[in-house]
Structure 1
Amino acid sequence: MKYLYHLAILFIALPLLSNAQSNYKPGYIVTAKGDTLRGLIDYQDWEGSPKLFRFKANSTANAQRFTAINTSYVEISQLDAYQKYQINISTDITDIQHLETFRDTSFRTDTVFLKILQKGKNIVLYSFTDHLKTRFFVKETASEKPPYELIYKIYKRDFKTFNDNTYVKQLFDLAAEFKNDNEVAATSIEHAEYKKEDILKAASAINNISPAEYKLKYEDKTRVLFFAGTGASLATFQLSSVQASSKLNNTSVMPMITAGIDIIANPATSRFFFRVEAAITQDKFKEAFPNATSPYYPLDYSFSLIGVSIIPQFVYNAYNTENFKLYLSPGVQIAFLSEKDAHYNQINGGTITPIDPLLVFNTVAATVALKAGAKINKRFDISGSYQLPTTLTRARNGKIDLNSIFIGVNYYFGKN
């Protein structure tokens, strides 16, 4: 199918565009010499802690590259900040599937950018991520000493798993030093797992940050966007039965209605997010064909198929600018089906004789949906999707397979 071919080309080609993708946001860089450069910084969904920042003095200027060699501090306004330090970094493995059989104390000394998670009146909390794991670092705000790692290790010995939660003691020591070893801080630290949310709450208690202030600054900033629209459903039915001498293909083009939500975990980049879309369709089948079995009178078969589909999907913005995005969104279509106005007739000259339904339809069908589209000016979404073939009927005298193409336009409501 020509449309499927073009869609496949898009799925292959669009990720290549992201290699040259940029997402410049206001910010500033402090160079190793102490100069402050204000302008635009390319902000990405870095898989690990960044080693390189691209900077422009303005939107038309050429990009400059800043690394740990010539940079001491980077801040993307109202988003993230990074400070350069030379520190000791643990190199043990905490992946439960690849544990050592001993307590690994190995480390490396490196000059890296630490992400500032919280800068409070008592301590500063940082994170650093590489191919091995994510680590958390702290330093006293007023101290000139570099940050030190909050230690967490996990290893196996004699078929038992051991957790070294040294970070808990380190946090308790900091709380006692700043006289914040109260019940709130103690509870936060004692129950803290080695993950961002828990460590951040413990640091907040040490920094005397109130629950209300914590919620305002640090709690989930996920954005939910609502959309609705219309389009066309191109449904191709393939009928196979003992009465038909060959497979019959029948295509209908009918309007459809769509609506849904986008759940965006990182609105600053919007590179990946989760979408749940609903579609209401009414597709029609009508076919007359000679009966391949006795009494060989021609047959006339028709029906309408109403489908209410739920399509959860993961969206990847392969080309991603503020006012124009090209995306791919593979997902799963779950359709709840209702057959209406079914007619199965035997035609003998001028005599039309209704006979038993040819096939019994399933009430639920599931298939894979492959979608590509473009979002324009934050409000309009134009897309096309291909639903892989799925069988609609239970075995009886044959079967009907369906594959569909959805072409639609959606409009986003509210703040976008």
Structure 2
Amino acid sequence: MTRSTALKFLLSALTIVIPSIAFSQANYKIGFIVRAIGDTSGGLIDLKEWEKTPQTIHFKKDETSKPEKLGLEELQAFGISGNGFFEKHTVNITLGAMRMAGLSEEKDTTSETRTIFLEVIEKGKNVSLYSYTDKIKTRFYIQKPGIDTGPEELQYYPYLENRKVRGAEIFANKLHLLALANGVNSSKLIGRLQSIQYTKKDILNVVREINGPQENTRRKEKTSASRFFAGAFLSTSPLIYKGDDPLAKDGTTHTSAFLPGISLGYDSFVNKHVQKVVLRLAGAVSLQRASTNETSYYINTFDYRTTSHDLEYLHISFNPQIIYNVYNQAQFKTFLAAGFTLSRNVYLENEYRGAYGSKKTDEDLGMRKAFLSYSAAAGVQVKKKIECYIKYSPSLELVSSTRYSTSIRQISVGMNYLFK
């Protein structure tokens, strides 16, 4: 296996392994539990990248305690500071699909009753909003104060009619009747209900309008699901020859400077509360300069002659990555990253000088300008704002012929500022 093939295999493996690890490592945060007998205890709860509403948790009283696995039998409720509050309820659950692939021209009204944990989205004076997500879909529930029958599902039975999804009128009408019962019927509310989608954002906006201004309403700590960043880096890219060319001989010298570049990008968290796995889109522009020289002694002329290739170019790249925070605390993180890179070179200087005075320029050399490659990086994040890293990109083949090949590989050291 060649070095290039091995690196590609490693990077491909990282893109699979990194998300998998994210779901298995412990990430304890300050929280509390309410046991089935009514006792409330503070402690630490293992916060995961939950795609479904959690029905079991791992809890420990302090850092040194052995964790307990607790679920519906042991708990009435639990909460994680700034990261969600969950209550146990016995509710009706609709089972019909919501994705286009599972829809038909008839409403699927099948349902069943379960005792589950619901996530509390909003506690209000007129209505409270909950949600529950399983492998089928996300459902939303409402409850009026003083009602002991438990939260009621906002039923949504989507179906296809002339290739369009219908069915939103059921839960929209339910919310409208609830608003009227609480004396709310503004034009703003009517507008929201006419275009409402079965999403957390749309339903929460309506619920908050029904509840009106509430100084004491419990609000979850605002945590952004994304961020932007900007940074600067230094990078170097040695120019390497292989095959039948004087610059591929033993003793060839390679010179490349560490030159500046700038980067801009956007991060999206798989789970904004945990922030263990990050999907990154990054763009960068850097100046690169490299020189390769070989000096040989020619016995027929009794002198030394030098072959050289001087290269200077702008390197423009787009680099989607998966970032995994190996150590993940609010004020300090260490991370690994893997991704692929689409890039383009704009050649500013490109000159090959042969030993006998021949000269080739950009057009003669026919170097590639566009590339697809891989990247790997490691670094640290400090104080939620500063990120320092080192990144490696494997060989980019500039010229490939039956006789020889020319390639570069890039090593970068940089710093990013993270905008929250």
Please classify the TM superposition score into its range, dividing by the shorter chain length. 0.7 to 0.9
Which residue of structure 2 aligns with residue 270 of structure 1?
275
SS of the aligned residue for 2:175 comes to: helix
Selected match of 1:304 from 308, 311, 324: 311
SS of the aligned residue for 2:135 comes to: coil
- Determine the C-alpha separation between the residues in 1 that align with 2:66 and 2:222: 36
Selected match of 1:96 from 95, 100, 108: 100
Shift in alpha-carbon separation, 1:403–1:118, aligned structure 2, 3 A: farther
Which residue of structure 1 aligns with residue 347 of structure 2?
338
- Determine the C-alpha separation between the residues in 2 that align with 1:115 and 1:235: 54
Deviation per residue, 1:227-252 (Å, 9 max, x gap): 54544434454578xxx579959865
Which residue of structure 1 aligns with residue 286 of structure 2?
280
Which residue of structure 1 aligns with residue 365 of structure 2?
359
The answer (yes or no) to whether the contact 2:229–2:419 under 8 Å persists in 1 is: no
Q: Which amino acid aligns with 1:308?
A: H
Alignment root-mean-square deviation, CA: 3.7
Provide structure 1 residue ranges, at least 5 long, that are not aligned to the other structure.
291-297
Provide structure 2 residue ranges, at least 5 long, that are not aligned to the other structure.
297-304
More displaced stretch, 82-91 vs 312-321: 312-321
Selected match of 1:143 from 143, 147, 163: 147
TM superposition score normalised by structure 2: 0.80
- Determine the C-alpha separation between the residues in 2 that align with 1:13 and 1:151: 38
The answer (yes or no) to whether the contact 1:275–1:315 under 8 Å persists in 2 is: no
The answer (yes or no) to whether the contact 2:276–2:328 under 8 Å persists in 1 is: no
SS of the aligned residue for 1:59 comes to: coil
Selected match of 2:375 from 370, 373, 378: 370
- Determine the C-alpha separation between the residues in 2 that align with 1:217 and 1:353: 71
Q: Which amino acid aligns with 2:370?
A: A
Over the matched positions of the two proteins, sequence identity in percent amounts to: 18
Matches for 1:84-233 after TM superposition, within 5 Å? 84-156=88-160, 160-165=163-168, 166-209=170-213, 221-222=224-225, 224=227, 226=229, 228-233=231-236
Q: How far apart are 1:14 and its partner, in Å? A: 4.9
The answer (yes or no) to whether the contact 1:192–1:199 under 8 Å persists in 2 is: yes
SS of the aligned residue for 2:371 comes to: strand
SS of the aligned residue for 1:329 comes to: strand
Shift in alpha-carbon separation, 1:70–1:230, aligned structure 2, 3 A: same
Matched, 1:25 2:32: no
SS of the aligned residue for 2:119 comes to: strand
TM superposition score normalised by structure 1: 0.81
Selected match of 2:68 from 48, 64, 67: 64
Shift in alpha-carbon separation, 1:179–1:406, aligned structure 2, 3 A: same
Deviation per residue, 1:130-162 (Å, 9 max, x gap): 1111111111133222111112222246x6445
Provide the aligned length of Structure 1 versus Structure 2: 395
Q: Which amino acid aligns with 2:320?
A: Q
The answer (yes or no) to whether the contact 2:22–2:276 under 8 Å persists in 1 is: no
- Determine the C-alpha separation between the residues in 2 that align with 1:168 and 1:359: 66
Shift in alpha-carbon separation, 1:198–1:63, aligned structure 2, 3 A: same
Which residue of structure 2 aligns with residue 295 of structure 1?
none
- Determine the C-alpha separation between the residues in 1 that align with 2:372 and 2:113: 51
Q: How far apart are 1:34 and its partner, in Å? A: 0.6
Deviation per residue, 1:238-282 (Å, 9 max, x gap): 578xxx579959865431435444534455311233242525241
The answer (yes or no) to whether the contact 1:337–1:365 under 8 Å persists in 2 is: no
Shift in alpha-carbon separation, 1:66–1:288, aligned structure 2, 3 A: same
Q: How far apart are 1:122 and its partner, in Å? A: 0.7
Matches for 1:370-409 after TM superposition, within 5 Å? 370-375=375-380, 377-378=382-383, 379-387=386-394, 389-391=396-398, 402-409=407-414
SS of the aligned residue for 2:173 comes to: helix
Q: How far apart are 1:325 and its partner, in Å? A: 2.6
Q: How far apart are 1:381 and its partner, in Å? A: 2.8
Deviation per residue, 1:279-317 (Å, 9 max, x gap): 524142435599xxxxxxx99351213233333323331
